[in-house]
Amino acid sequence: MIRQDERGGVVAVVPQRLLADRLDLLEVVGDLDVGVTVAPAPGLPPDVRSLLLAVLARDVVDYVGHGYRVLGLVERDAPGRGVGWEELVAEWARWGLAPIPTVTLDPRVTAEDFRATLASWLDPDPVA
């Protein structure tokens, strides 16, 4: 990864829900120096949704190929894990990319608990 500016080098694929009614969690993501790329909402017409998912998937391929860390913030019980997971995995397979690691997002999680979970994933073995 080219490091010539303030970018953090970590990108999260997130459900649209995070931008609708959980902006508190979006702020936690930002506070932990992670950028987000948003998966299309489930209710969109299938052709629109497929196009957006393909663009997102190829962006992820490019990020990983350039050394960025990419994770999925996914919802356990939502269709497509909230991000169109099956479609993303299929597109990644076309480009030879294995599924990215995920952190499960509980829809009822508090910002504090979410911060702890995500921070732990980002830095699983922090120096004391």
Partner 1 sequence: MTPGARRVAFVAHCFLNQNAKVAEFARCPGVVLPVVSALRESGYELAQLPCPEMAYLGVGRWWQSREMYDTPGYREHCRTLAAPVLAQVRAYRAEGYEVVLVGLDGSPSSGVRLTGSRQDWGGRPEGAARGGSNRIPGRGIWIQELMRLFDEAGEPWPRATGIAMDDKDFDPVAGMAEFAGFLDSEPGAGAAPDARAGDS
Binding site for partner 1 (CB under 8 A): 2, 4-11, 16, 19-21, 23, 26-27, 29-38, 40-41, 43-45, 48, 51-52, 55, 58-59, 62-63, 66, 68
If the CB atoms of residues 3 and 128 are measured against partner 1, the closer one turns out to be 3
The token pair at 12 is: 């999260």
Indicate the DSSP class of residue 36. E
Q: How far apart are CA 118 and CA 128, in angstroms?
A: 18
**In angstroms, what is the minimal distance from the CB of 123 to partner 1?**
14
Q: Tell me, what amino acid is at 40?
A: P
The angle subtended at Cα 125 by Cα 122 and Cα 128, nearest 5°, is 120
If the CB atoms of residues 70 and 74 are measured against partner 1, the closer one turns out to be 70
Q: Are 72 and 100 in contact (CB under 8 A)?
A: yes
**In angstroms, what is the minimal distance from the CB of 72 to partner 1?**
14
**In angstroms, what is the minimal distance from the CB of 12 to partner 1?**
8
